[in-house]
Structure 1
Amino acid sequence: MVTPRPAHHVAAEPHDASVADRLNWLRAAVLGANDGLLSTAGLVMGVAAATTDRSPLMIAGIAGLAAGAFSMAVGEYVSVSTQRDTERALITKEVRELTEEPEAEFEELVGLYTAKGLSEDTARQVATELHAVDPLAAHLDAELGIDEESLTNPIHAAVSSAVAFTLGAVIPLLAILAPAALRVPTIAVLTLVGLALAGYVSARLGDADRGKAVRRLLLGGLAAMAATYGIGTILGTTVT
């Protein structure tokens, strides 16, 4: 006689909407930092190729940081506000449909669960139980993938993007403090280290290939800095 093995308790994995939102926020923060790092590095590399004077480098770098941070904040605010307005409009529409045509909406929910692979009886039972608890939440989830309690916040998105961009931009700005002879290589090395870290973190958050993500960012960063340095060199010798 085979003795049955005792059941092992398996902790529930965090697959709820709040976890997904946090992961998206973290991923956006990493990308914002990467943008601040690379755009500011490219800017100061271009100026560094034209002059060894620290003052114009700092002015260009700080101006680029401020412009980029504000641009990220405004762009993220507008984008997320549009998304939030769309979500609210969809919620209002769903509330109206549930009020005016409750039977039709119930049958629609049954159809959605049937389309996902449930039998007619099971889908009807699920829809009945969900309707008894919170019909609006059931329809928002099944039809639109929206959680009314977890709508995107445009202010949070704008602030986090600006802060992330600023943190990334600080790295090449600090490199400007290096001696003139070491300034360009210091900017390049610190930028590449920051890009490698950003690539690793973003790949880990998305459970992707770390090496591939890091290589892509390093190659892109090298190309951007080489291009801006070349432009700065040309302008530095031709513009008076």
Structure 2
Amino acid sequence: MTKRTAGNVHRLRSGASNGLYALLTLVLAAGLAWLLSAQLNYFYGFFHDHIGIAETIAEYGPQNRFKDDFETTDRAQRITLFAEIVRAVHSDGEGLKEISYRAAGRTRAVALLHEAEIIHLQDVAHLIGATRLLVILTAMLWAVWTLAKIRRKAPFPPLTQQLGKLLGVSVLIAGLLGVFGFEAVFYQLHIWVFPAEHQWFFYYQDSLMSTMMQAPVLFAYIGGSIAALGVALFCAITALLHRYSRKNAGK
């Protein structure tokens, strides 16, 4: 093998290694963004006010076939209800049956969710548990790889170099959503992920859960906010590690 060939092989290996490390960092950043967003109630209060959720509740609340007067609830109660759902699905579904709302002028609380909704949210809770485990395993692998690079004094690539890989992933995702549409992708993922015998699609007239979440519209905005936060974390992690490796290169 000539020196030129050996150099090309080395560059290919280095590029592949950096690419895999960037992908792992991106997955870690997305996972951290998701966990942080969950702590912030997925920004539900902001989206309630700005994407038409209040108007959706006002229109479809009176049409609900199972529950009455949900449209009389106020913003604060809806934010609390959403937070209780978030807390339940991040706790293996514990407390879903106890979530209730109190309509204006009523003394008795009404259970928010009916049986099919509870079953679906329990499935969501199982999925979240598996995803959380994946984030933990990703974090462990990333930490081991990062420490190994630090011990070998291997350089971390600059952010400008890694942004190209990030752009590639972003273009791929945007392309898929552009071709198929968010709703089609969203529904297909539900078909693949959730048990076929469990209901996961609910008309607004049949589900206060779907109404107060303006499904699937809210999830597009939540996904976008997690993606934006994930990109910011990815950039911060990459820039800090590159700065660290440059600072310690000569030591």
Bin for the TM-score computed over the shorter chain: 0.3 to 0.5
TM-score by length of 2: 0.31
- Greater relative contact order, per chain length (Cα 8 Å cut-off, separation 6+): 1
> Highest CA radius of gyration, 1 or 2?
1
